[in-house]
Amino acid sequence: MESMQASLEGEQKATAEALRIKKKLEGDINEFEIALDHANKANNEALKSIKRYQQQLREAEVSYEEAARLRQEMSERA
């Protein structure tokens, strides 16, 4: 009888420990999901910034090429 009682107590302890670990893992998963969401949002913002900088660079290149062309024309006229 005592061995059955000890076995039951052992199983109860193991079950309680398993539930504790399960809750901890679920909490960790939730934290990782939140961190992933934040990382994805930051990545999207970074991509938007990169696209904006690329557009600004293209505009600057066009402006530079136009200025160089005008300078060349002026140089040829002079």
pLDDT score of 3: 84
pLDDT score of 28: 98
DSSP of 3-61, one letter per residue?
A: HHHHHHHHHHHHHHHHHHHHHHHHHHHHHHHHHHHHHHHHHHHHHHHHHHHHHHHHHHH
Q: What single-letter amino acid sits at 40?
A: N
pLDDT score of 7: 87
Q: Report the predicted TM-score, pTM, of the whole model to 2 decimal places.
A: 0.65
pLDDT score of 6: 84
pLDDT score of 8: 87
* pLDDT exceeds cutoff 90 at 1: no
Query: Where residue 4 falls among pLDDT bands split at 50, 70, 90?
Result: confident
